[in-house]
């Protein structure tokens, strides 16, 4: 997030798009409730009637995958009405003219055709957001899990920059990271192109710096992404995969494809706390420890680094994950000699500029928000205060592109996925919490009452769902949370895994698969 969580309370307009916040980030929803209580305007753009829509000043249900058209039209209106912040644009950004040119075509009327949102509503969205003193945008996977994921994010950044709603308290473009420590995983260099703190592996200076810190020869070739690794396994060049605490058999699109890939590995190592669907395929399974069994830190979605503290010893013969990695490294012939996670953090802060000032001692109390370069730096509540990281904020002129797969006669329903309030991700942990499992213990398919009637489906009926990639069965939930022509399914449940159906097509830039849209056919199980 560009801004910290608590700042949301003081925004006077919040645009929530592609985030079912009360389910997936409930404690951020709390801040949105509070902002609303203080009089903020709440705009929810979501094809589903999510809980936040119940209290929104305006809820628009745009067609799946039409975010760019919707936001471009908002900007069209803002510029036409002169609600943009010219001073901010002049001082802090570049590329505005190019953006302006393409926005000409995005009249609310044209966007209405694409998005299914009434032109008047688009104008109101534009007005609420542009005229706010502090407008904040909150988004999640509903924006990123598209072939146009990067386009979507850039479009939201454009919107925040033309109105100057960025770089100030309670404004910003705020992605809610899907998983608990995904921020940390990225910060720590769990990415094929960067070392910790997003230092490019292709930059010779970085390479030199890490070679001397780590006392090893390093590669300057960008590595493979998850999806590339999967096809690398299927097609040969990749021979071994070491998976730490992930369950791609449930989380990744096109399960059949993932299974084939994992089964063709010469060596599959899985380190996890449960025997997941993925672990079952491994050659060796290493039992790791939960967050309650070790010391360490997590970085939450607002960039706050916080302590994890050991409450009990690992169960049975399980081991803390850092110890397992250390032992393997030692046996492999690359010695690691850390006695505690705190020692690892000392090394992290020495090579990771944004974590430079972070020590366990300083994390007591409220933790620290990075960038925190030195031990006397207080941490950073919001980013881009006086300038953007690259200097001037760059507008990208982004045109609307339809989703990779669209409905047709054979597959006439739009299919989308998401979370439910009682579960998290692939359910590895939450489905092993009896209370949560009893709250919701199976997958289901949300179908609009009109569609259900047409298909002869009643609440609780089993329904066959097929896409170009697979077939599965689930229970029908008849609800007007979804509009006609759209169906929704949570993805936490391995036995009715939504990802049997989803599309592996990737965003060309950031390689995120289009989990949020594909086309399916429905049939009542006879």
Partner 1 sequence: MDYRTVLTTCTHCGCGCNFYLEVLDGKVIGTIPCKTSPTNEGKLCIKGWNVHEFIQSEKRLTQPLLRKDGELKEVSWDEALDFTAKRLREIKDTHGADSIGFLTSARVTNEENYLLQKFCRAAIGTNNVDHCARL
Partner 2 sequence: MSDKVKDKVKELLSSGKIKGFLGLCSRDGNIAPHLFVTEDELDNLVVGDKSAPGDSRYPLNRQLINLVRAYPDDTFGILVRGCDERGLAALASWNQINPNKIEMVGIACPQELAIACECLKPYPESFVDGEKCEGVTAETVARIDSLKVKERFDLWLNEFSKCIKCYGCRNICPMCFCNECSLENDELIRKGEIPPEIPTFHLTRAVHMAGRCIDCGLCSEACPADIPLRTLYKKVADIIYKQYNFRAGYDAGQKSPLNFLGGLPE
Task: Tell me: does residue 27 bind ligand SF4 (CB under 6 A).
Answer: yes
Binding-site member from 58, 102, 119, 188 for partner 1 (CB under 8 A):
188
Among the residue ranges 143-151, 363-371, 410-418, 445-453, the one whose residues contact partner 2 (CB under 8 A): 363-371
Start-end of H helices in 358-468:
360-363, 434-439, 449-455
Burial track 324-340 (b if 16+ CB lie within 10 A, e otherwise)? bbbeeeeeeeeeeeeee
Binding footprint of partner 2, residue count (CB under 8 A):
23
Site string for partner 1, 301-330 (x = CB under 8 A): xx-xxxxxxxxxx-xxxxx-xx-xxxxxx-
420 binds, among partner 1, ligand SF4, partner 2, none (CB under 5 to 8 A by kind): partner 2
Cα(152)–Cα(146) distance, integer angstroms: 8
From CA 356, how far away is CA 361, in angstroms rounded?
14
Pick the closer one to partner 2 by CB: 122 or 440: 440
* Shortest reach from residue 170's CB to partner 1, in Å: 16
Partner residues linked to 111 by β-bridges: none
- Grouping H, G, I as helix, E, B as strand and the rest as coil, residue 262 is helix
Q: Which does 218 bind (CB under 5 to 8 A by kind): partner 1, partner 2, ligand SF4, none?
A: partner 1
Quick one: which segment of 29-37, 170-178, 346-354, 376-384 binds partner 2 (CB under 8 A)? 29-37
Nearer to ligand SF4, 99 or 440 (CB): 440
Site string for partner 1, 197-226 (x = CB under 8 A): ----x--------x---xxxxxx-xxxxxx
- Chosen residue from 140, 289, 351, 420 binding partner 2 by CB under 8 A: 420
* Residue 512 touches which member of ligand SF4, partner 1, partner 2, none, C-beta under 5-8 Å by kind: partner 1
Match 């094929």 to its residue by tokens. Answer: 192
Task: Tell me the closest approach of the beta carbon of residue 4 to ligand SF4, in angstroms.
Answer: 15
Nearer to partner 1, 246 or 461 (CB): 246
Residue 106's φ and ψ, nearest 5 degrees, are -90, 60
Which of 6, 15, 26, 423 lies at the binding interface for ligand SF4 (CB under 6 A)?
Answer: 26
Least distance from partner 1 to the Cβ atom of residue 496, Å: 17
Contact 381, 3 (CB under 8 A): yes
How would you classify the pairing of strands 240-244 and 199-200? unpaired
Q: From the CB of residue 364, how many other CB atoms can be counted at a distance below 10 Å?
A: 9
Please give the distance of CA 398 from its chain centroid, rounded to a whole number.
Answer: 21
**Is the Cβ–Cβ distance between 130 and 83 less than 8 Å?**
yes
Burial of 499 (0-12, 13-18, 19+ CB in 10 A): buried
The nearer residue to partner 1, 215 or 376, going by C-beta atoms, is 215
Q: How far is CA 523 from CA 334, 446, 465, in A?
A: 56, 14, 7
The angle subtended at Cα 324 by Cα 322 and Cα 326, nearest 5°, is 70
Among positions 6, 49, 55, 485, the unique one binding partner 2 when judged by CB under 8 A:
55
In the complex with partner 2, the residue whose CB is nearer, 436 or 457, is 436
Name residues contacting partner 1, limited to 405-434 (CB under 8 A): 421-424, 429-430, 432-434
Q: What is the DSSP string of 342-383?
A: HHHHHHHHHH-GGGTT--HHHHTTT-EESP--STT----SSS
The site string for partner 2 over 300-339 (x = CB under 8 A, - otherwise) reads -------x-x------------------------------
Taking the C-alpha atoms of residue 512 and residue 503, their distance in angstroms, rounded to an integer, is 11
Scanning 47-55, 147-155, 170-178, 232-240 for contacts with partner 2 by CB under 8 A, the matching segment is 47-55
HSE-CB of 144 using CA atoms within 13 angstroms: 13
Contact pattern for partner 1 over residues 9 through 28, marking x by CB under 8 A: ---------------xxxxx
According to the binding rule CB under 8 A, does residue 291 interact with partner 1? yes
Using left for φ > 0, alpha for ψ between -120 and 50, and beta otherwise, residue 414 falls in beta
Residue 34 CB, nearest approach to partner 2 (Å)? 7
Dihedral of the alpha carbons of 91, 94, 99, 101, in degrees to the nearest 10: 90
Q: Is 112 left (phi over 0), alpha (psi -120 to 50) or beta?
A: alpha
> Footprint of partner 1 on residues 85-144 (CB under 8 A)?
141, 144
> CB under 5 to 8 A by kind: which of partner 2, ligand SF4, partner 1, none does 411 bind?
none
Residues that bind ligand SF4 (CB under 6 A): 26-27
Residues at the contact surface with partner 2, assessed by CB under 8 A = 22-23, 26-27, 29-30, 33-34, 37, 51, 54-55, 307, 309, 364-366, 420-422, 438-440
């Amino acid at each position: 997030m560009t801004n910290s969580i608590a700042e949301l309370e003081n925004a006077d307009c919040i645009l929530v798009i592609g985030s079912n916040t009360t389910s997936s980030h409930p404690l951020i929803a709390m801040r949105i409730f509070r902002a609303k209580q203080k009089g903020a305007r709440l705009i929810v753009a979501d094809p589903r009637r999510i809980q936040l829509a119940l209290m929104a000043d305006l809820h628009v249900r745009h067609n799946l995958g039409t975010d760019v058209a919707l936001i471009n039209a908002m900007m069209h209106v803002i510029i036409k009405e002169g609600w943009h912040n010219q001073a901010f644009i002049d001082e802090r950004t570049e590329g505005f003219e190019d953006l302006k040119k393409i926005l000409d075509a995005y009249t609310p009327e044209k966007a209405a055709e694409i998005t299914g949102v009434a032109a008047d509503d688009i104008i109101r969205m534009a007005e609420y957001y542009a005229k706010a003193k502090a407008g904040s945008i909150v988004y999640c996977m509903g924006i990123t899990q598209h072939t146009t994921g990067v386009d979507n994010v850039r479009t939201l950044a454009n919107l925040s920059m033309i109105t100057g709603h960025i770089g100030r308290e309670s404004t910003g473009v705020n992605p809610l990271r899907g998983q608990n420590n995904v921020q940390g995983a990225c910060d720590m260099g769990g990415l094929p192109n960067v070392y910790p703190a997003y230092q490019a592996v292709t930059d010779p200076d970085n390479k030199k710096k890490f070679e001397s810190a780590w006392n090893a020869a390093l590669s300057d070739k960008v590595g493979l992404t998850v999806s590339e690794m999967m096809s690398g396994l299927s097609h040969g060049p990749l021979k071994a995969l070491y998976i730490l605490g992930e369950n791609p058999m449930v989380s990744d699109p096109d399960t059949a494809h993932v299974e084939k890939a994992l089964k063709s590995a010469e060596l599959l190592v899985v380190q996890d706390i449960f025997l997941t669907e993925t672990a079952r395929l491994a050659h060796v399974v290493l039992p790791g420890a939960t967050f309650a069994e070790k010391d360490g830190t997590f970085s939450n979605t607002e960039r706050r680094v916080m302590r994890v503290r050991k409450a009990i010893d690992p169960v049975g013969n399980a081991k803390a994950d850092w110890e397992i990695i250390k032992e393997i490294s030692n046996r492999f012939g690359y010695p690691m000699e850390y006695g505690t996670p705190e020692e690892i953090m000392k090394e992290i802060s020495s090579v990771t500029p944004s974590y430079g000032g972070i020590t366990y001692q300083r994390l007591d109390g409220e933790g620290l928000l990075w960038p925190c370069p030195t031990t006397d730096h207080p941490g950073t509540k919001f980013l881009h205060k006086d300038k953007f990281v690259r200097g001037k904020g760059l507008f990208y002129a982004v045109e609307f592109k339809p989703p990779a797969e669209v409905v047709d006669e054979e597959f006439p329903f739009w299919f989308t996925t998401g979370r439910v309030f009682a579960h998290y991700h692939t359910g590895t942990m939450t489905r092993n919490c009896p209370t949560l499992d009893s709250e919701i213990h199976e997958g289901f398919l949300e179908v609009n009452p009109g569609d259900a009637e047409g298909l002869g489906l009643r609440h609780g009926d089993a329904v066959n769902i097929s896409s170009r990639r697979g077939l599965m069965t689930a229970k029908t939930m008849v609800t007007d949370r979804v509009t006609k022509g759209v169906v929704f399914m949570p993805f936490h449940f391995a036995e009715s895994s939504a990802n049997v159906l989803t599309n592996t097509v990737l965003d060309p830039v950031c390689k995120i698969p289009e989990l949020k849209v594909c086309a399916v056919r429905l049939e009542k199980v006879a």
